[in-house]
């Protein structure tokens, strides 16, 4: 039977095929992880819907496949093998030709001393092709791949059972040579081409989409977080002891953002050509580094959670993001994105809006520096917040109202700010 | 043969019914009238003596063309050909050689059954000291036969009898020779090499041309000589295509296909993109008499096409 890429999650129309976890010829049980599928910045493992033997892989790694498209063939238990696809061939026309090979005459009486008879023909039944071969490469394929530096995992096989043939490698080389500027020269020795991982490809596509579709404006505010720093410091030991996790600034920021989004719903919307779509839920995505690239786990309904609740949720999401174990729902449905670029030491950054959201906010590094307080100068903990926003949806006034609302909330944090 | 006999009066023909009758396939029709009975000798039904007389004449400076009426009757010559003729040059330290040709029509598909259908090339091709030629086309047959007659060593020249009337092709009147031991790429292609010889060449070419429309580009290599085999041409073709199918009418085990496969394995291993495959006659002692069974025994364009498709898809 044909295995199709299943519909996973709302608003997902296609997926990128990641690593195949089974090879052609492998025995698979129902619900065995079959292939990694990368959608909307997350890796999911697609389980096999049946038990049987994997007979063909129809979608190569890195290929973008629409939901519902065939990706593999499994000979399910009890299913008859498909035939090799041999079709009876038509007899070629025999024409007398003056070439040196000569030609076969039809309908001539056979020579020889013992009898005669009509023309002889035979059509043997085609033997079924073996399709239970494990994935192996022929010497010719290995040699050419080695010579030309081809990563065979990226080459889609057209041979029996999906085998990568010499022809496949040759056309792969032709295509990869043609795709950049066609140059007669071999690639220079001081360069190296690293193939894209599916995740990298997906991130790249999203970034291009953001940069090319959204007219983005940018703003920056300074936030005096001296009170926040003191509050966190004071709560630290007690929090660790009682909750078993550390307390960071992030839950405070998310809470401030969630509350400010409630006040400024335009920031929690998306552009849809003939309408602005306001989102009723406030789901805040948090950009995080993962082993194979950026992921954005989402804190759903962030406006309903306490500081502790947020801290727990963040701890869980970031731990799983680092291990690459996020589920699809963990990364779906974000309505606004927060990026703590300060963790990387940055004091100023210009993020790209996470398409199709309305805005993205960064919190930069907290720096102790002199600041004017009242009539005097004091050493304060200062933090920059940067925001890029979709200028189609809003103008500077709305953007500033929002970011100043966040700023005010963060600056209001003091010794009495509750955590529960 | 006529041209060679006119050119060189050391050349003579001998065999059963070759004189007055002009040969069972009329290969020597009119020879008796033109060259006389000293050079066109009808022999008794004794193949061992045909080969032995030719061997002796050749050792004494003549250039005999001895005909075995059907290759099926060639077995009594084994002692003369394998045991003696092949070894004379070595045994005399190069002082003597045996410039003889043993001609024999062979092969099946002619309702010849057990005693008029055999393919014998592999038996002789195993023997160092012999050359074994298996032409497939009229053009090659003339050029190779001239080379065989002029060769200083014994040549077994095996003509597929079905090609006598089944194949028509261009033969120039003028003088030319084709070197023994040189294969010929009869059809150029990219996807797969078919190595063959004799009658099967024509079925292979027919199959290859038909498969063009399916997008399979087949190169057809005609060995022409099965001893010595032209390693270079075979290797060059397989290095280009990465796949080899060897086709012969003779049975598979220990056949020419095994030798070609061995050559490919030795010298083209790193270029292989598929299993070296043999399509050959079944492991059955004789060609059956029943037409249905004979058809089953013989290879055909259909069988070859199916084998090419399988290997091309691999």
pLDDT reading at B61 higher than 60:
yes
CB contact, 8 Å: A100 with chain B?
Answer: yes
Q: Poorest-confidence range of A122-126, A214-218, B143-147, B149-153?
A: A122-126
Using CB atoms, which residue from A96, A121, A166 is nearest to B295? Answer: A121
CB atoms B313 and A85 under 8 Å: yes
Q: Inform me whether the pLDDT recorded for B268 exceeds 60.
A: yes
Look over chain B and give the mean of its residue pLDDT values, rounded to a whole number: 96
pLDDT given at position B167: 92
- Whether A160 is in a domain gets the answer no
Give the nearest partner residue to B138 out of A102, A120, A138, using CB atoms: A102
Q: Which residues pair with B64 in a beta bridge?
A: B12
B272 in contact with chain A, both atoms CB, cutoff 8 A: yes
- The one-digit pLDDT tens for each residue of chain A (420 residues) are 888 887 766 566 778 888 888 888 888 888 888 888 877 656 778 888 888 888 888 888 888 888 788 888 888 887 765 544 444 444 444 454 556 777 777 666 655 544 334 444 444 444 444 444 456 789 999 988 888 888 888 888 888 888 899 989 988 988 887 655 444 555 566 788 888 877 788 888 889 999 999 999 999 999 999 999 999 999 889 899 988 888 999 999 999 999 999 999 999 999 998 899 999 999 999 988 777 778 899 999 999 999 999 999 999 998 888 887 888 888 889 999 999 999 889 999 999 999 999 999 999 999 999 999 889 999 999 999 999 999 999 999 999 999 999 999 999 998 888 887
How far B103 CA lies from chain A's nearest CA (Å)?
16
Report CA torsion sign: B134, B138, B140, B141.
Answer: positive
**B143 band by pLDDT with thresholds 50, 70 and 90:** very high
Query: Which residues of B are known catalytic residues?
Result: 116
Is B271 in contact with A143 (Cβ distance < 8 A)?
yes
Helix (H, G, I), strand (E, B) or coil at A221: strand
A-B C-beta contacts closer than 8 Å = 146
Instruction: Return the pLDDT at A12.
Output: 67
Q: Give B106 to chain A, closest Cα distance, Å.
A: 10
B 90-109 residues with CB < 8 A to A: 109
State the nearest Cα–Cα gap between A97 and chain B, in angstroms. Answer: 7
Q: Look at residue A187 in the predicted model and tell me its pLDDT.
A: 57
- Residue with the larger pLDDT of the pair A343 and B117: B117
Partner B contacted by A119 (CB < 8 A): no
Residue B136 φ then ψ, to 5° = -120, -25
- Tell me how close the Cα of A184 comes to any Cα of chain B, in angstroms: 23
User: A326 lies in a domain?
Assistant: yes
Residues 4-33 of B with CB under 8 A from A: 24-25
Does residue A172 lie in a domain region?
no
Residue in B17, B106, B111, B165 to test binding to A, most A beta-carbons within 10 Å: B111
Per-residue pLDDT at B185 exceeds 60: yes
Interface contact A376, partner B, CB < 8 A: no
User: Are A114 and B112 inside 8 Å of each other by CB?
Assistant: yes
Q: Is A238 exposed, middle or buried (0-12, 13-18, 19+ CB in 10 A)?
A: exposed
Q: Which of A18, A52, A76 is the last residue in one of the domains?
A: A76
Backbone φ, ψ for residue B213 (5° rounding): -70, -20
User: Touching check for B116 and chain A: CB below 8 Å?
Assistant: yes
Cβ contact (<8 Å) for B109 and A120?
yes
For testing contact with chain B, the best of A88, A89, A90 (most B CBs within 10 A):
A89
CATH number of the domain encompassing residue A29: 2.40.50.100
CATH number at residue A318: 3.30.559.10
In a domain, A128, yes or no: no
d(CA B137, CA B160): 10
Hey, is the C-beta of B170 within 8 angstroms of any chain A C-beta?
yes
Question: pLDDT tens digits for B246-261?
Answer: 999 999 999 999 999 9
* Residue A160 C-alpha, separation from nearest chain B C-alpha, in angstroms: 5
Give, as one character, the DSSP assignment of residue A416: T
Cβ–Cβ gap B206/A94 under 8 Å: yes
What is the nearest CA distance from B58 to chain A, expressed in angstroms?
30
Q: Which of A76, A93, A114 is the last residue of a domain?
A: A76
In-domain check, residue A388: yes
| Contact residues, chain A, for B161 at CB < 8 Å | 111-112
Report yes or no on A403 lying in a domain. Answer: yes
Query: What residue ranges define each of the domains in chain B, with the CATH number in brackets?
Result: 2-166 (3.40.50.970), 184-313 (3.40.50.920)
Whether the pLDDT of residue B117 is over 50: the answer is: yes
What value of ipTM does the predicted structure carry?
0.72
Q: Residue B113: is its pLDDT beyond 80?
A: yes
Number of domains forming the structure of chain A: 2
Verify whether the Cβ–Cβ distance A163 to B314 is below 8 Å.
Answer: yes
pLDDT at position A327: 82
Contact at CB, A108 and B273, closer than 8 angstroms? no
CB atoms within 10 A of CB B127: 19
For A389, the domain range is 207-411
- Across B95-114, average pLDDT: 95
Catalytic residues of A: 391, 395
Is A387 among the domain residues?
Answer: yes
| Domain annotation covers residue A367 | yes
Three-state SS string across chain B, please?
A: CHHHHHHCCCEEEEECCCCCCCCCCCCCCCHHHHHCCCCEEECCCCHHHHHHHHHHHHHCCCEEEEECCCHHHCHHHHHHHHHHHHHHHHHCCCCCCCCCEEEEEECCCCCCHHHCCCCCHHHHHCCCCCEEECCCCHHHHHHHHHHHHHCCCCEEEEEEHHHHHHEECCCCCCCCCCCCCCCEEEECCCCEEEEECCCHHHHHHHHHHHHHCCCCCEEEEECCEEECCCHHHHHHHHHHHCCEEEEEEEECCCCHHHHHHHHHHHHCHHHCCCCCEEEEECCCCCCCCCHHHHHHHCCCHHHHHHHHHHHHHC
Task: Among A76, A103, A123, identify where a domain stops.
Answer: A76
**Any chain B CB within 8 A of the CB of A86?**
yes
CA atoms within 13 A on the CB side of B170: 8
């Amino acid at each position: 039977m044909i295995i199709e890429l299943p519909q996973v999650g709302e608003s997902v129309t296609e997926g990128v095929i990641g690593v195949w976890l089974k090879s052609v010829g492998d025995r698979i049980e129902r619900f065995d992880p079959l292939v990694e599928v990368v959608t909307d910045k997350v890796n999911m493992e697609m389980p096999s819907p049946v038990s049987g033997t994997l007979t063909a892989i129809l979608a190569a790694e890195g290929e973008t496949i629409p939901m519902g498209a065939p990706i593999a063939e499994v000979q399910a238990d009890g299913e008859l093998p498909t035939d090799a696809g041999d079709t009876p061939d038509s007899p070629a026309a025999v024409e007398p030709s003056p070439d040196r090979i000569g030609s076969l005459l039809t309908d001539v009486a056979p020579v020889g001393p013992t009898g005669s008879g009509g023309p002889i023909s035979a059509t043997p039944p085609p033997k079924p092709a073996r399709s239970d071969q494990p994935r192996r490469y022929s010497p010719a394929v290995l040699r050419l791949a080695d010579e030309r530096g081809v990563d065979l995992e990226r080459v889609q096989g057209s041979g029996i059972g999906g085998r990568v043939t010499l022809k496949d490698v040759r056309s792969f080389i032709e295509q990869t040579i043609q795709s950049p500027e066609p140059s007669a020269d071999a690639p220079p020795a001081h360069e190296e081409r690293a193939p894209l991982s599916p995740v990298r490809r997906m991130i790249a596509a999203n970034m291009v989409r953001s940069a090319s579709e959204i007219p983005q404006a940018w703003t920056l505010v300074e936030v005096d977080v001296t009170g926040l720093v003191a509050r966190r410091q004071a709560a630290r030991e007690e929090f660790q002891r009682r909750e078993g996790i550390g307390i960071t600034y992030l839950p405070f920021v998310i809470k401030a953002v969630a509350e400010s989004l409630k006040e400024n719903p335009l920031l929690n919307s998306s552009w849809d050509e003939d309408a602005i779509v306001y989102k009723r839920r406030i789901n805040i995505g948090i950009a995080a580094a993962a082993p194979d690239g950026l992921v954005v786990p989402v804190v759903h309904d962030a406006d309903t959670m306490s500081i502790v609740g947020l801290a727990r949720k963040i701890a869980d999401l970031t731990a799983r993001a680092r291990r690459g174990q996020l589920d699809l729902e963990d990364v779906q449905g974000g309505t606004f994105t927060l990026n703590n670029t300060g963790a990387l030491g940055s004091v100023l950054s210009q993020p790209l809006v996470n398409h199709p959201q309305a805005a993205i906010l960064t919190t930069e590094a907290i720096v102790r520096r002199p600041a004017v307080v009242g009539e005097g100068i004091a050493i304060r903990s200062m933090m920059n917040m940067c925001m890029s926003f979709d200028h189609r949806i809003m103008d500077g006034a709305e953007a500033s109202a929002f970011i100043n609302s966040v700023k005010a909330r963060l600056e209001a944090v003091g010794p009495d700010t509750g955590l529960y | 043969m006529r041209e060679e006999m006119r050119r060189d009066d050391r050349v003579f023909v001998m065999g059963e019914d070759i004189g007055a009758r002009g040969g069972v396939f009329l290969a020597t029709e009119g020879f008796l009238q033109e060259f006389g009975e000293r050079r066109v000798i009808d022999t008794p039904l004794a193949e061992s003596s045909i080969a032995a007389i030719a061997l002796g004449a050749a050792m004494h400076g003549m250039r005999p063309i001895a005909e075995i009426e059907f290759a099926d009757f060639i077995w009594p010559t084994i002692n003369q050909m394998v045991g003696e003729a092949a070894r004379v040059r070595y045994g005399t330290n190069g002082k003597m050689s045996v410039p003889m040709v043993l001609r024999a029509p062979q092969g099946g598909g002619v309702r010849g059954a057990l005693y008029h259908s055999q393919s014998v090339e592999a038996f002789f091709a195993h023997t160092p000291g012999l050359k074994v030629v298996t032409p497939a086309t009229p053009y090659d047959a003339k050029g190779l036969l001239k080379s065989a007659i002029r060769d200083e060593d014994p040549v077994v020249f095996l003509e597929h009898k079905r090609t006598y009337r089944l194949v028509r092709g261009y033969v120039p009147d003028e003088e030319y020779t084709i070197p023994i031991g040189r294969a010929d790429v009869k059809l150029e292609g990219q996807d797969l090499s078919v190595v063959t010889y004799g009658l099967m060449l024509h079925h292979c070419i027919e199959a290859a041309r038909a498969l063009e429309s399916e997008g399979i580009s087949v190169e057809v290599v005609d060995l022409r000589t099965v001893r010595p085999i032209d390693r270079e041409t075979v290797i060059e073709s397989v290095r280009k295509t990465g796949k080899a199918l060897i086709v012969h009418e003779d049975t598979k085990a220990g056949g020419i296909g095994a030798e070609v496969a061995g050559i490919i394995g030795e010298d083209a291993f790193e270029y292989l993109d598929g299993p070296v495959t043999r399509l050959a006659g079944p492991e059955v002692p004789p060609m059956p008499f029943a037409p249905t069974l004979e058809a089953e025994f013989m290879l055909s364009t259909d069988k070859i096409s199916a084998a090419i498709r399988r290997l091309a898809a691999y």
